Amino acid sequence: MRSVITLTFGAMLLAGCMQDIGPTGDMLARDAAKGVVNNVVQSRFPGVNAAPYTDCIIDNASSAEILEIGRAALIGTTPATTNLVVEIASRPDTVRCALNNSLGLGVLGL
C-alpha cells in the first residue's frame, strides 16, 4: 500500500500538481513523508519506537517541509533531508508533543 501511495505522490510531484495539493494531496504527501521520517528516526535513534516521534515531526512541519521530506521517498534520503527532520524534531512544540506521546500524556493535552 505504501508503495502505491509513494508512486501516486511521485506522479503528482513530477507532474507539477503540488502547488495546490488539496486534502488528498496533503494526505499522500504526509504518508510519503512519514515513511522517510520514520526511517530517519529509526536510524538516528536505534531501538526507539519511532511512531510517536514521526507523528509529532510531521504535525510540526510546514507544508513545504512535508513536500521536501516526501520527495526523499522518491529520490532517497539525503543529508539535507536528515538535517531537516532533525531540525523539525528539535522545535519546542515537536519536543513537547514527542514527550507527551512517549509518556502517554497526549490525551491530556499537555
Domain count, the chain: 1
pTM of the model: 0.72
Q: What is the mean pLDDT of the chain?
A: 79
Please write the tens of the pLDDT for every residue from 41-56: 999 888 888 888 999 9
Q: Quick one: 95 exposed, middle or buried, by C-beta within 10 A (0-12, 13-18, 19+)?
A: middle
**Residue 28: domain span:** 2-108
Query: Do residues 23 and 56 make contact, with C-beta atoms less than 8 angstroms apart?
Result: no
Q: Dig out the grid coordinates for 44 from the structure.
A: 538516528
**Rounded-to-10 torsion of CA 37, 78, 68, 61:** 40
